[in-house]
Amino acid sequence: MTKVCKNIGIVAHVDAGKTTLTEQLLFASGATRKVGSVDDGTTATDSLTVERERGISVRLATETFYWNDHQINLIDTPGHVDFSAEVERSLRALDCAILVVSSVEGVQANTSSIFDALQYLNIPTLIFINKLDRAGADVERVMAEIHQELSPNAVLLQQPSNLGQTDAGISGGWLKTSTPSQFTSEELEPWLQPLLECLTELDDEFLEAIIESVPVTFEEVDQKLSHAISCNEIYPVFTGVAKAGIGINELLNAIIHYLPNAKQNNNAALSAVVFKIEHDQRIGKMAYVRVFEGTLNARDKIHNATRSHEAHVIEDKASQVKRVIRGKYQDMDCIEAGDIGVVSGLQSAKIGDILGLGDAVPDAYQLSAPLLTVQVIPDNEKDFSALASALTELADEDPLLNLEWLVEQRELHVNINGWIQVEVLQAILQQRFAIQATFKQPSIIYKETPTQPVEGYECYWMPKPCWAIVRFLIEPAQRGSGVHYESKVSVNQIAAKYQNEIQANLAKALKQGIKGWSITDVKITLIDGSDHVQHSRPGDFIIATPMAIMNGLNESDTDLLEPILDFQIQADSELLGTLTSDITKMRGHFDAPEFQGNRVIIRGKFPAATSLDYAIKLASLSGGHAKMSTRLSGYEICSPEQGQTTAYRGISPLDRDKYILWARGALQ
Ligand code: GDP
């Protein structure tokens, strides 16, 4: 049975009321019989104990419900900036989104970055202004912020009433039957004029009709509006009080009416993406999958296009296919095109993997990259192995943790975004795995790049039997360009199978440079070398490559690169002097400040290392009235004093004899 289906993401800055809104949507649609409450820890989507205790969503959660013959898959995402990676992963699964904004706090730092991502990916977005009942609710001010910070093409389609009072609600709406079926622009209520203005800007003929006071029909205007929303030319704005269930039916009708359905093509070959991994205690690894084309059937063998080059990965079999309804799995026979589901049995699947053909899968979008690395230590040494396997499982669910497990040193390191994430990880380790662990002081993640072109050479032919001779040209490359590799050596000199070994292990060789950080912005060219018909064995070039690279880097030396953030600070103008002096002290720089009434907006760049605690300082400095948003801008050179080096983890290829013994498995 083919059904109309929409995959809708709910996104927001933390505390805007996203989880409460999700509960109300489920309740209004009849999916739940009671409204769960964030404050009592009884919501359907916050299922982790830590989420219920802290009242914050950490993982994205999905829920399916039905409204007016439409199937709606809601994807509830975490709002705290430390968990932006979860939001980022969900974006690929969406057809449209609801962005929740509080009518008191307005557009917050995280709101803008999420909205940018939605715009970049052309995901039609409806904005919901929540909490009309709270003291200080001001829809006009929030609309001005939306126009300024998100899009000038956001159009309010409802008229709120009794703002800031317990009986706050909605007194009129474009979609309400009160809108006349035919009208001239003068006859339309003043608060709906911005809608006409926005539409006339998109359509010259319509502009002419409006100027000449030609009557237009509701149908005609509404169709133009629908079209503009589906093309991301207009962002409709609705309002309500999620906590009291006000504005929920109107929102559901607007979702059906304005937000696009998933495209459905069941007859094509499978084209799907994994957007979340979860481990169920009973069933094991579960992959959340969005199918764009084709059908994914239970018991099908699934081709994993992303991992097909990995020798050990063949085809996994989808053993069971399920859907999440009210927080519980329910069996399905298949996931059809346009739908999402949860699949067990895909053992090799990782987040972001493309299943079948990737043609219909949209591009990925990176909102965040962890800036900090931290060592995790079990409180009880005998828990080390359990902690290592728990972190391995968690890194499967969140690849950005990038777990580094140094077996010999018995050390575990993960990458993180901030302290909230540390607290949440600590709680998950305790609640899900019964492990008490401590996180050491985190360090900024620096990188390294060669200071000048240099050759890296290694002649690994002793102790026999072995033979791998390589010479690389290692050159610094443009900032932000990453790693490029090329071989100028013929397969007669070094056989193709060995050249493949070199290329496949290059990333590992570049993981730590001479200052302990990963090497980037570098061009590496294999310019010379040889294998030996008798003496070369598989693995010899894997051992020789890191030695050659490290030899070169050691000779050329490397520059430290530090993460630089783009920032935007909005505060009362009287703070301008303090802010600019703080920014300069943080080694930052800024553009000419922009004034809006008694507020000032400063944009610029500062290093992550000097600004980690600035959001907290700014909050106390401004009495909570300033806003700051930051985003990784890139990496730039810093002096050794400004940055930090770290000891080589494991045995360095520069410690040649020991490294060879270790690499050959001969070290005890
Ligand atoms: P999330 O972090 O965006 O998921 O926000 P939550 O749904 O957890 O809500 C954050 C807080 O705001 C909770 O204490 C809710 O009870 C409260 N809240 C949510 N919606 C409303 C609303 O419409 N009015 C008021 N006054 N409070 C609300």
8 A C-beta contact, residue 288 and residue 275: yes
Q: Each residue of 609-629: pLDDT tens digit? A: 999 889 889 989 998 888 888
Res. 461: pLDDT tops 70: yes
Res. 40: pLDDT tops 90: no
Res. 490: pLDDT tops 90: yes
The SS3 call for residue 134 is: coil
Q: Each residue of 159-177: pLDDT tens digit? A: 999 999 999 999 888 887 5
Res. 178: pLDDT tops 70: no
Res. 70: pLDDT tops 80: yes
Q: Tell me how far the alpha carbon of residue 130 lies from the centroid of ligand 1, in angstroms.
A: 8
Calculate the average pLDDT of the chain: 88
Q: CA 219 to CA 183: how far, in whole Å?
A: 11
Q: What's the whole-number mean pLDDT along residues 183-211?
A: 86
- Burial call 406-422: b when 16+ CB within 10 Å, e when fewer: eeeeebbbbbbbbebbb
pLDDT band at 1 (very low <50, low <70, confident <90, very high): very low
**Residue that is written with structure tokens 């990676």 in the block:** 85
pLDDT band at 365 (very low <50, low <70, confident <90, very high): confident
Q: Tell me how far the alpha carbon of residue 421 lies from the centroid of ligand 1, in angstroms.
A: 21
Among protein residues, the one whose CA lies closest to atom 21 of ligand 1: 243
Q: Is 16 in the pocket of ligand 1 (CB under 6 A)?
A: yes
The SS3 call for residue 573 is: helix
Res. 236: pLDDT tops 90: yes
Q: What's the whole-number mean pLDDT along residues 40-53?
A: 62
Q: Which residues have CB under 8 Å from 559's CB, separation 6+?
A: 448, 449, 450, 451, 637
Q: Each residue of 291-345: pLDDT tens digit? A: 999 999 988 898 888 877 665 556 788 889 998 887 788 899 999 999 999 999 9
The pLDDT score that the predictor gives to residue 398 is 82
Q: Tell me how far the alpha carbon of residue 243 lies from the centroid of ligand 1, in angstroms.
A: 7
Res. 462: pLDDT tops 70: yes
pLDDT band at 188 (very low <50, low <70, confident <90, very high): confident
The pLDDT score that the predictor gives to residue 120 is 86
Among protein residues, the one whose CA lies closest to atom 10 of ligand 1: 15
The pLDDT score that the predictor gives to residue 82 is 63
Q: Does an H or E element contain 600, and which? A: strand 599-607
The DSSP-derived string for 377-390 is EESSGGGHHHHHHH
The torsion of the CA quartet 645, 647, 648, 649, rounded to 10 degrees, works out to: -120
Query: What percentage of the chain exceeds 90 in pLDDT?
Result: 55
Q: What's the whole-number mean pLDDT along residues 94-110?
A: 90
Q: Is 57 in the pocket of ligand 1 (CB under 6 A)?
A: yes
Q: Which residues have CB under 8 Å from 496's CB, separation 6+?
A: none
DSSP secondary-structure letter at 280?
E
DSSP-derived pairing of the beta strands 594-596 and 558-572: unpaired
Q: Tell me how far the alpha carbon of residue 14 lies from the centroid of ligand 1, in angstroms.
A: 9
Q: Is 18 in the pocket of ligand 1 (CB under 6 A)?
A: yes
Q: Is 55 in the pocket of ligand 1 (CB under 6 A)?
A: yes
pLDDT band at 101 (very low <50, low <70, confident <90, very high): very high
Q: Each residue of 103-123: pLDDT tens digit? A: 998 888 778 878 988 898 899
Residue 140 CB-density burial (10 A; 0-12 exposed, 13-18 middle, 19+ buried): exposed
Q: Which residues have CB under 8 Å from 116's CB, separation 6+?
A: none
The pLDDT score that the predictor gives to residue 51 is 58
Stretch among 228-242, 298-312, 563-577, 625-639 having the lowest mean pLDDT: 298-312
Q: What's the whole-number mean pLDDT along residues 492-519?
A: 94
Check whether the bond before 465 is cis (ω within 30° of 0). yes
The pLDDT score that the predictor gives to residue 621 is 92
Q: Which ligand 1 atom sits closest to the C-alpha of 37?
A: 16
Res. 155: pLDDT tops 80: yes
Residue 166: count of CB within 10 angstroms of its CB: 9
- Longest distance between any two alpha carbons in the chain, whole Å: 92
Pocket test for ligand 1, best of 53, 111, 132, 243 (most atoms within 8 A of CB): 243
Q: CA 580 to CA 585: how far, in whole Å?
A: 9
Stretch among 205-214, 232-241, 359-368, 578-587 having the lowest mean pLDDT: 359-368
Q: Which ligand 1 atom sits closest to the C-alpha of 100?
A: 3
Among protein residues, the one whose CA lies closest to atom 24 of ligand 1: 131
Q: Tell me how far the alpha carbon of residue 354 lies from the centroid of ligand 1, in angstroms.
A: 36
Q: Is 80 in the pocket of ligand 1 (CB under 6 A)?
A: no
Q: Tell me how far the alpha carbon of residue 627 lies from the centroid of ligand 1, in angstroms.
A: 20
Res. 265: pLDDT tops 90: no
Q: Tell me how far the alpha carbon of residue 425 lies from the centroid of ligand 1, in angstroms.
A: 24
Q: Tell me how far the alpha carbon of residue 15 lies from the centroid of ligand 1, in angstroms.
A: 6
pTM to 2 decimal places = 0.81
